[in-house]
């Protein structure tokens, strides 16, 4: 038996642990797919067909240079296609291919099923509160002015 999941950890650390457990379960459940990662990108694309890369980056907090590699990988696996937005030719639309869509459907099902299991024995109200607070915490963290962050030190170079 593992020791208890620690109750005294900062919220960021707990969130990281939660995501580790979650993605561990997810990738186990999707063991026999021909892509082994970037499920969340596929999930996002499933719900946002034909959006451009930057939108994916912003929503999933993935760096744009990393995103290039993710999409190269998914493209090589035949899951996605890139097309140029004629209205703004800098942008590349990302679309799931027929194969990508079919496989991503299973991925979405896996996500849904694990979400469901994750909230077992938790009331609908608590679940709602949880998700609402999670949203707010993200918003708070996202809008932290970087000056706020230097409290026990004098500000040095403040690279941001």
Partner DNA sequence: TAAAATAGTTGACAAATATAACTAATTCTT
Partner DNA sequence: AAGAATTAGTTATATTTGTCAACTATTTTA
Catalog residues that contact DNA under the rule CB under 7 A. Answer: 36-38, 52-54, 57, 62-69, 71-73, 82, 87-92
Identified binder of its own copies from the candidate list 34, 61, 86, 87, rule CB under 8 A: 61
88 binds, among its own copies, DNA, none (CB under 5 to 8 A by kind): DNA
- In the bound state with DNA, the residue whose beta carbon lies nearer, of 73 and 119, is 73
- In the bound state with its own copies, the residue whose beta carbon lies nearer, of 69 and 150, is 150
Q: Which two tokens stand for residue 15?
A: 């969130």
**Distance of alpha carbon 94 from the chain centroid:** 17
Which residues touch 71 (CB under 8 Å, ≥6 apart)? Answer: 41, 53, 80, 82, 94
Give the largest Cα separation in the chain, rounded.
57
Binding of residue 66 to its own copies (CB under 8 A): no
- In the bound state with its own copies, the residue whose beta carbon lies nearer, of 77 and 114, is 114
Question: Is the distance from CB of 26 to CB of 35 less than 8 angstroms?
Answer: no
Report how many residues bind its own copies under the rule CB under 8 A.
Answer: 80
At which residue do the structure tokens 């993200």 appear?
138
């Amino acid at each position: 038996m593992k020791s208890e999941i620690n109750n005294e950890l900062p919220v960021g650390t707990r969130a990281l642990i939660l995501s580790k457990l979650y993605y561990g379960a997810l990738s186990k459940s999707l063991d026999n797919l021909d892509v082994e990662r970037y499920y969340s990108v596929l999930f996002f694309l499933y719900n946002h067909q034909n959006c451009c890369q930057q939108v994916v980056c912003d929503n999933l907090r993935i760096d744009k240079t990393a995103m290039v590699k993710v999409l190269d990988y998914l493209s090589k696996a035949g899951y996605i296609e890139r097309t140029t937005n004629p209205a703004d030719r800098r942008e590349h639309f990302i679309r799931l291919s027929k194969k990508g869509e079919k496989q991503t459907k299973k991925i979405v099902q896996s996500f849904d099923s694990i979400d469901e299991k994750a909230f077992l024995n938790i009331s609908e109200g608590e679940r709602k509160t949880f998700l609402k607070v999670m949203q707010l915490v993200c918003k708070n963290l996202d809008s932290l002015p970087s000056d706020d962050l230097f409290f026990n030190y004098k500000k040095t170079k403040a690279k941001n």
